[in-house]
Amino acid sequence: MILNSKKAEDIHSGEAYILWAQLVAHYDTLELIEFFMSVAKDKDFKLLVKNGLSRVIKPQIDKLEATMNFYNLPLPSRPPSKVNLQNNVEAARDESMYSIISDLSQTALNLHIKAINMCVNDSIRNLFVEFLNDELKTYDNLVKYGKVKGWIRNAPSYYH
């Protein structure tokens, strides 16, 4: 998304809200993913998660913050920079964390589609189209990785 000093289009209240809601969701995801990275055991899983964080989550946060600043919208509070690990994290299982991340990715896909449907401002709608494309690639990689690890939860086969 290219933001210049002259606002080509104003935004409506729904667009302002969806920008804020997406940034809150991204902050929550950032905090959870950083926690998962601190307790995950599988090195390949940690690499996959780190890649998603650096290639998708953090750049999208930067774009959302820049867009909100451009339109003079208040930013939500950022998550803490350090994750507190007071509880026993030995019980954390990589497969469970993978499942949660997969669910988060599916939710993100739905959020991006909802945002695209809501936005009439071309630059903001295009931002969410870009996010949707990023998330589709991320989800595809998650499914492929889950298949390799045997972590995909398939429903029982149906025969009639």
Contact (CB, 8 A) for 36 and 49: yes
Q: Are 79 and 133 in contact (CB under 8 A)?
A: no
Q: What tens digit of pLDDT does each residue of 6-64 get? A: 555 789 999 999 999 999 999 989 989 998 888 999 999 999 999 999 999 999 999 99
Read off the pTM.
Answer: 0.81
> 90 is written with which tokens?
């030995």
Q: How far is residue 103's CA from residue 34's CA, in Å, rounded to a whole number?
A: 16
Amino acid (one-letter) located at 95? E
Greatest mean pLDDT among 96-100, 127-131, 153-157: 127-131
CA distance 47 to 37: 9
**Domains, the chain, ordered by start:** 13-77+92-149 (1.20.1260.10)
